[in-house]
Amino acid sequence: MSILYVVGTPIGNLEDITFRAVRILSEVDLILCEDTRTSRTLLNKYDIKNSTMSFHTHSGLAKIDKIIEMLREGKNLALITDAGTPAISDPGSLLVSKVREELGDDVEIKAVPGPSALTAALSIVGLPDHQFTFIGFLPHKKGRETIFNKISVAKKGSFVFYESTHRIEKTLESLKEHFNLVDTPDRKIYLARELTKMFEECLVGSAEELIERIAMDSNKTRGEFVVIVGPNL
């Protein structure tokens, strides 16, 4: 029986990988990568010489069919993303779904747990409760304001989403507007930036306070963000 391993990889620091992940990546017949060039940096560090093949957002159904055929032939494959755990806010979930649908009990799908920006951020902010809603990446245009409205009127729980360097200021401005509309301007927001990298940082404050801090230092808008909106206490 063939195996598809879903392997977590570092979100920043290349040392954040498990012994098991290194072993599995060394043993499989092929490694499926979001970007083979990015993954090669990690693979080279651990002297993993296995063949790679790209699988990303723009990979079509033909690529999925090819992967399924390799599993049908008995090959063991590993799925990795550029950073973090596959199938969490990336196209890996579609592949896993199609493999289950096509091969059923003829293939094992095994998790090789590893880093996740979601859990890394939650672990360092010290939320007052443990209930949260994970949104993933926000839509670029349509639907953003609807999400911000839902967050602003929620009576309990926190909300977590990913945001890019290009949109973080606009996102904070939108949150500020929505919080003012429901008279909760002091609602706390946590910005976890560049997790596990050299310039890792966690900023905490109201939307207005964070906007002011970022305006004073443009370096604080750089990198990828995990945004956590605390509960409406």
Q: What tens digit of pLDDT does each residue of 29-81 get?
A: 999 999 999 999 999 999 999 999 999 877 888 899 999 999 999 999 999 99
Percent of the chain past pLDDT 70, that is, above it, reads: 100
> Measuring CA to CA, how many Å separate 191 from each of 188, 206, 209?
10, 11, 12
| Count of domains forming the chain | 2
Residues 131 and 175 occupy one common structural domain? yes
Using DSSP's 3-state secondary structure scheme, residue 68 falls into: helix
Which stretches within the chain are classed as H helix?
Answer: 19-27, 36-45, 61-72, 92-103, 117-125, 144-153, 168-181, 207-216
Q: Which residue has the tokens 């003829």?
A: 106
- In DSSP terms, 103 is beta-bridged to none
Pair (105, 169) in one structural domain: no
Please tell me what DSSP assigns to residue 118.
Answer: H
- What's the confidence (pLDDT) of residue 91? 77
Same domain, 126 and 108: no
- pTM reported for the whole predicted model: 0.90
The residue with tokens 């992940």 is 21
Judge if 129 and 98 occupy the same domain. Answer: no
Do 70 and 86 lie in one domain? The reply is: yes
**Domain with 30 in it:** 2-112
Give dist(CA 111, CA 116) in Å, integer: 13
CATH code where residue 68 lies: 3.40.1010.10
pLDDT digits (tens, 9 = 90+) for 141-183: 888 999 999 999 998 899 999 999 999 999 999 999 999 999 9
